[in-house]
Chain A
């Protein structure tokens, strides 16, 4: 699995770098050509951190919304149905 005996070709690395680049929002927007590996790593790191922050923020919001669902309003019933289905 670790492939210690196998040399990774430059082509394979380039392919992986392109694949990673295509996942990043900025690279897609600018329709950028190849960026340097260090720029790519930097963008990837900051994108992952921002996604983690978004998950945290959305978890807080969902927790807040679920608090309102503890009431017996018709809206709460709809949302409960949404979660049950």
Chain B
């Protein structure tokens, strides 16, 4: 399902002004689509996917923002271990969760990231192969 979702998202990136946008702008759109599709496919059951979708939808200049309750944000867990702190920064939403939960979320995040990379590599390989046909 993540493959279909991502392919559809790619076709939308292409249609949003092929001549008018720079390649780097398009690359940023593709990158955002990759993370959004990955998170949407994981669904709301995972803290990392929820955090990633919140972050993507919170982009500046996306229109009117409704005022949100500030209380929702929990205090980040203070860590003594710099490696644990680093992992909390890398896993979306990892700042506020218990250590045990962090490990679980990190494992799922790694699995989904690796799948996304394989998917994108497959698309690049297919498209490159097609482009090189004479």
Contact = CB atoms under 8 A, between A and B. Distances in A.
Q: How many A residues touch the partner, as a band?
A: 35 or more
A55 B133 contact: no
A59 B120 contact: yes
Given A47-B110, A55-B117, A68 B31 contact: no
A56 B31 contact: yes
Contacts of A65: 124, 127-128, 131
Contacts of B27: 56, 59-60, 62-63
A45 B124 contact: no
B114 interface: yes
Interface of B: 7-8, 10-11, 13-14, 18-19, 23-24, 26-28, 30-31, 34-35, 81, 83-84, 86-87, 90-91, 97-100, 103-104, 106-107, 109-111, 113-114, 116-117, 120-121, 123-124, 126-128, 130-131, 133
